Structure 1
């Protein structure tokens, strides 16, 4: 069930953003200067250092923490495809601290955001033009397979856009297609961040975001539909368990 913000939550969010924006500008500027001297692994570590601050500062200013269940299900070596629900900006910040390194599939408009988007572009994301659906799928499979062959996990939000708490949306098959094409497992992941950081909301509501990581879904000898059905079944089951669907 969605939670309502009160005036104190807005005030606490003001303090959060008073730290968020200035540090983002400084760190992004440093990242742009230093990144040409680093390889991808080093660049990812440096650019995403600020994400740890974001999560810490969110807890300190707004009282939003996180609890992870199933972290042991994340492979310790080799590449894989993570499929997760998308409810807010929170998961785009947090997942870069949980899966390291990684390549995120995102809409290309994000890369145009001053400083934040410029730094994000240094991480070699797969920036999709959502108006070109056929071309977007080809890009996902081509660039995604290339990243996976370099042992870099790929993060996909199969709902395609933020879906508010209480709704499920439609899960596309891109994650299953990419995993099968590259011969790597799918790691399903669910969270309830939308309860505490609703999409496009200024106010943050105190509480603990629950993150559940599922066991790897194998792809060997299976079809895209079989992989996708297992993925969707797990996601929907755990969304209902967290009471966000």
Structure 2
């Protein structure tokens, strides 16, 4: 109990960090999106997001709110060819941890985030892709991959439901993009001792600190020749369920 006031103070600092930097980035990046050439703007926007998220994670670790090891993501930093980085979506802030280690990640995100005053300007400058109409999302994502890069996509389409044991049923978008762009999918497995910011978690409800998170990277999966999107999605589903079901200190607990 002695550290609770310090934890709440540190959490208030984290919220302030997002509020100030979020608005600043939206103003600056929103302006730059009308000035810079597309390619240069996208590279700058992604780099800005990377540094903001990187320092945010450092702050959380320094204040003792978070214990996380992201070193496994270094494997992806050495991949020079276009790939899809596909984590399970346990919590609202999952993308922060991935982008904190991948300086040029291209994120697929909800349309509403592109209109968000704290995230919209930077997301538009970075060339992030809205997940609206499936056909357009697949086309835009495949085109982005052909230009080179690492596409960050949550194959569940939304955060894992509290009622699901390991993971939601995967959507078909990840498979469709992989087949169209002919690129491998790297499954990323996120585990935590907390359901903080999971689906249905009230934003005003503080968790028990420190939050522990483990991130690991699986072997790449490439669609077989003539493999359907449905078959590839089922293959991905089995990989996630088998890995997340393995014994681990941070394995998902029912009802926690």
Fold shared per TM-score above 0.5: yes
State the distance in 2 between where 1:123 and 1:111 align: 11
Offset at 1:104? 1.4
* Preserved CA contact (<8 Å) 2:85 2:151: yes
Identify unmatched segments of 5+ residues in structure 2. Answer: none
Deviations 1:38-88 (A, max 9, x none): 602233213432111211122233521321364364252110112211122
* Preserved CA contact (<8 Å) 1:164 1:194: no
Offset at 1:27? 3.5
* Preserved CA contact (<8 Å) 2:146 2:181: yes
Deviations 1:108-166 (A, max 9, x none): 0111211322222221111123xxxxxx2201221111001001221211211112456
Query: Relative to 1, partners in 2 of residues 1:118 and 1:32: Cα closer, same or farther, differing over 3 Å?
Result: closer
Runs of 4+ in 1 over 4 A off after TM superposition: 6-9
Using the TM superposition, name which of 224-233 and 184-193 deviates more. Answer: 224-233
Question: Matched residue of 1:37: which SS?
Answer: coil
Query: Relative to 1, partners in 2 of residues 1:13 and 1:85: Cα closer, same or farther, differing over 3 Å?
Result: same
Bigger share in helix: 1
- 2:243 pairs, out of 229, 238, 244, with 238
State the distance in 2 between where 1:20 and 1:48 align: 14
Question: Matched residue of 1:87: which SS?
Answer: coil
* Preserved CA contact (<8 Å) 2:26 2:117: no
Asked which structure has the greater RCO (Cα within 8 Å, sep 6+), the reply is: 1
Identify unmatched segments of 5+ residues in structure 1. Answer: 1-5, 130-135
* Preserved CA contact (<8 Å) 1:47 1:119: yes
Instruction: Show the 5 A alignment for 1:47-126.
Output: 47-68=49-70, 70-71=72-73, 73-74=75-76, 76-126=79-129
Residues matched between the structures, number: 234
Question: Matched residue of 1:192: which SS?
Answer: strand
State the distance in 2 between where 1:94 and 1:162 align: 15
Offset at 1:238? 2.3
Provide the residue aligned with 1:24 in structure 2. Answer: 22
* Preserved CA contact (<8 Å) 1:73 1:215: no
Deviations 1:152-211 (A, max 9, x none): 221211211112456222111211121111111011011025726333444243133100
TM-score normalised by structure 2 residue count: 0.80
Provide the residue aligned with 1:195 in structure 2. Answer: 194
Instruction: Show the 5 A alignment for 1:202-217.
Output: 202=204, 203-204=206-207, 205-217=209-221
Question: Matched residue of 2:63: which SS?
Answer: helix
- 1:155 pairs, out of 138, 152, 155, with 152
Offset at 1:228? 2.1
